[in-house]
Amino acid sequence: MSSPDIPQKAPYAVEVEAGKKYWWCACGKSKTQPFCDGSHKGTPFAPVEYTAEKSEKVWFCGCKHSASKPLCDGSHKQC
Ligand code: FES
């Protein structure tokens, strides 16, 4: 199984808007982290959809190894 790239070993803090959909980059290759820009084409990865339940700051995984994708679970400490 291939591993995703690791754009940063820390989460990305993002102010999300209630009801809005976001596509989190799972491959690690996007230039618009933490979101997908289509760079996963040709890799085994696909973006993960996230719908904001409320307007708030959330922490998207930056190392791409979180067990609770697309959000950070602290896994970057082991990367
Ligand atoms: S660019 Fe990484 S999942 Fe789309």
pLDDT in tens, 3-58: 999 999 999 999 999 999 999 999 999 999 999 999 999 999 999 999 999 999 99
Tell me if 61 CB under 6 Å of ligand 1. no
Q: Is residue 38 part of a domain?
A: yes
pLDDT surpassing 70 at residue 1: no
CA of 22 to the centre of ligand 1 (A): 12
Dihedral sign (CA 57, 61, 66, 70)? positive
Tell me 3's DSSP state.
P
The pTM is what? 0.95
Tell me which of 40, 61, 64, 69 to substitute to probe ligand 1's pocket, judged by most ligand atoms within 8 Å of the beta carbon: 40
Q: Is residue 55 part of a domain?
A: yes
- Is 33:8 a contact under the CB 8 Å cutoff? yes
Strand partners, 57: 15
Q: Is residue 23 part of a domain?
A: yes
Q: Is residue 59 part of a domain?
A: yes
CA of 45 to the centre of ligand 1 (A): 7
Q: Is residue 33 part of a domain?
A: yes
CB-count burial class (<10 Å; 0-12, 13-18, 19+) for 15: exposed
Residue 39 alpha carbon, nearest atom of ligand 1? 1
Q: Is residue 47 part of a domain?
A: yes
Nearest Cα neighbor of 27 from 8, 5, 10 is 5
Task: Find the radius of gyration of the CA atoms of the chain.
Answer: 12
Question: Can you give the residue range of the structural domain that contains 30?
Answer: 17-79
Q: Is residue 66 part of a domain?
A: yes
Q: Is residue 9 part of a domain?
A: no
Tell me if 30 CB under 6 Å of ligand 1. yes
Number of domains in the chain: 1
